[in-house]
Amino acid sequence: NAGVTQTPKFRVLKTGQSMTLLCAQDMNHEYMYWYRQDPGMGLRLIHYSVGEGTTAKGEVPDGYNVSRLKKQNFLLGLESAAPSQTSVYFCASSYSYQGEQYFGPGTRLTVT
């Protein structure tokens, strides 16, 4: 039981490049979330999903897209990376609404 895993762990992109971050969970959770963490700002919700095939915008969705084609996977895409997207990205999942969220180890992304 791996919990929540994220790939890759680190990535450096140039401005304008694209990439996809993968989140996988093996706990059969319905809810999945993508957050970004910036110094002094805590975690901010980018997008979330309440089940397979559904996605919704969070607090800071601009510049990101997501997909939840399979229940266990939640993908976060950056179509044209910008330096403002330099951050640490965390994926989380939960069994139910307002349930405990389990977090992945994070992906550190630098955009130059």
Q: Is 106 in the site for other proteins (CB under 8 A)?
A: yes
Site for other proteins in 68-97 (CB under 8 A): 90, 92
On whether the CB atoms of residues 45 and 58 are closer than 8 A, the answer is: yes
Scanning 19-27, 38-46, 64-72, 79-87 for contacts with other proteins by CB under 8 A, the matching segment is 38-46
Instruction: Answer yes or no whether residue 57 interacts with other proteins by CB under 8 A.
Output: yes
Pairing of strands 107-111, 87-94: antiparallel
CB 2 within 8 A of CB 26: yes
- The smaller minimum CB distance to other proteins, of residues 16 and 41, is found at 41
For position 105 contacting other proteins by CB under 8 A, the verdict is yes
Residue 51 in contact with other proteins, rule: CB under 8 A: no
Of 1 and 100, the one with the shorter C-beta distance to other proteins is: 100
Region of residue 28 (left: phi > 0; alpha: psi -120 to 50; beta: else): left
- Chain residues in the site for other proteins (CB under 8 A): 4, 33, 40-43, 45, 48, 57-59, 90, 92, 98, 100-106
